């Protein structure tokens, strides 16, 4: 079954969507979209360093994204600038550094378009193994840390009062995001990772009544966007990664029209059943 490149793309994309859904919910709840964008932009610097030091691409991207997270935390504690200004500096400087390094490495042939926009149709069997193994680990850690992460998202003071150490939860969330970005880079590309994290979660928010429902719905909506985007790409001969994001956008636009009504009906039916 996995001998067909289109089937491999579907399996890989659905596996990634199952992970980005719940993680994207925390990005939406915590209003960390710009932070996710910053980490995604830093991925290109990770790619350049991976080629320079001849290390695994996923490892290189993860290390750079993790370092960017640590740098942001340290700069925030020093209070030198506002968070949005720091994110802007880190985002554009890491992207620019990556592009400059790639330009200097004339002995290496790098497909920038592939890294920027992804190539899910080129996913191999080892890539699928990495996606599902890494995704299982990320989901396992997310489930294990669900309560402290959710408490810190709702109220830092409340989490501290309950002895949950919200700062640790924040670091864990950042590292999980770094893992997802490293895994997703080859599939949807650096510039589209944040969209796959945010759009399904934002769509699920229009329908879900609880955080758990929103996490599950975000995963299913992301998977549906992958399937719809890939078949749309096959039908209309469009780029696969952007087509997936366009499909996710279509679901979001539909949620703006019907999400409120459906959520009200679900709430009313749950109330009447109790």
Mean pLDDT of 126-147: 93
Q: Are 62 and 182 in contact (CB under 8 A)?
A: yes
Provide the percentage of residues in the chain whose pLDDT is more than 70. 93
Nearest in space to 56 (alpha carbons), one of 5, 125, 126, 105? 126
For the chain, what are the domain ranges?
5-268
Question: How is residue 19 written in tokens?
Answer: 């992970």
- The pLDDT of residue 274 is 47
CA distances from 60 to 34, 105, 119, 154, 190 (A): 22, 16, 19, 33, 14
Dihedral of the CA atoms 141, 142, 145, 146 (nearest 10)?
-160
**Separation between Cα atoms, residue 22 and residue 40, nearest integer Å:** 18
* Span of 124-138, 148-162, 260-274 with lowest mean pLDDT: 260-274
pLDDT score for 260: 60
pLDDT band at residue 177 using 50, 70 and 90 as cut-offs: very high
pTM of this prediction?
Answer: 0.88
Query: Where does residue 220 rank: exposed (0-12), middle (13-18), buried (19+ CB within 10 A)?
Result: middle
Q: What is the pLDDT of residues 210-231, one digit of tens each?
A: 999 999 999 999 999 999 999 9
For the cut 70, the answer to whether the pLDDT of residue 159 exceeds it is: yes
Q: At what angle do helices 5-29 and 166-188 cross, to 10 degrees?
A: 150
pLDDT digits (tens, 9 = 90+) for 58-109: 899 999 999 998 898 888 888 878 888 989 999 999 999 999 998 888 888 8
Alpha-carbon dihedral angle through residues 130, 142, 154, 42, given to the nearest 10 degrees:
-20
With 70 as the cut, is the pLDDT of residue 259 above it? no
Write out the two tokens for 50. Answer: 């991976």
Residue 106, φ and ψ in degrees, nearest 5: -70, -20
**At the top level of CATH, which class does the domain 5-268 belong to?**
mainly alpha
Interval 112-123: pLDDT, tens: 788 888 888 889
> If 0-12 CB within 10 Å is exposed, 13-18 middle and 19+ buried, where does residue 69 land?
buried
- pLDDT, the chain, mean: 87
Query: CA-CA distance, 61 to 72, in Å (whole number)?
Result: 17
With cut-offs at 50, 70 and 90, classify the pLDDT of residue 268.
low
When pLDDT is averaged across residues 194-223 and rounded to a whole number, the result is: 93
């Amino acid at each position: 079954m996995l001998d067909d490149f289109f089937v491999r793309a579907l399996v890989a994309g659905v596996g990634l969507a199952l992970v980005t859904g719940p993680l994207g919910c925390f990005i939406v709840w915590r209003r960390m979209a710009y932070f996710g964008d910053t980490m995604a932009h830093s991925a290109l610097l990770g790619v350049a360093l991976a080629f320079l030091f001849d290390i695994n691409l996923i490892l290189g991207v993860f290390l750079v994204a993790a370092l960017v997270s640590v740098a942001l935390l340290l700069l925030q504690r020093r209070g030198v600038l506002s968070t949005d200004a720091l994110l802007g500096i880190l985002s554009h400087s890491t992207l620019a550094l990556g592009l400059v390094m790639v330009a200097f490495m004339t002995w290496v042939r790098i497909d920038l378009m592939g890294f920027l926009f992804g190539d899910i149709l080129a996913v191999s069997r080892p890539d699928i193994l990495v996606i599902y193994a890494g995704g299982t680990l990320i989901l396992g850690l997310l489930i294990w840390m669900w309560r402290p992460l959710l408490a810190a998202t709702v109220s830092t003071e409340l989490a501290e009062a309950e002895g949950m150490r919200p700062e640790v939860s924040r670091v864990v969330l950042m590292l999980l995001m770094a893992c997802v970005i490293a895994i997703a880079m080859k599939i949807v590309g650096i510039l589209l990772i944040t969209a796959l994290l945010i759009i399904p979660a934002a769509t699920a928010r229009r329908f879900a009544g609880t955080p758990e429902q929103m996490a599950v719905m975000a995963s299913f909506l992301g998977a549906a966007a992958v399937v719809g985007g890939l078949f749309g790409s096959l039908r209309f001969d469009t780029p696969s990664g952007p087509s997936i994001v366009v499909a996710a956008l279509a679901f979001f636009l539909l949620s703006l029209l019907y999400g409120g009504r459906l959520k009200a009906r679900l709430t009313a039916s749950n109330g009447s059943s109790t």
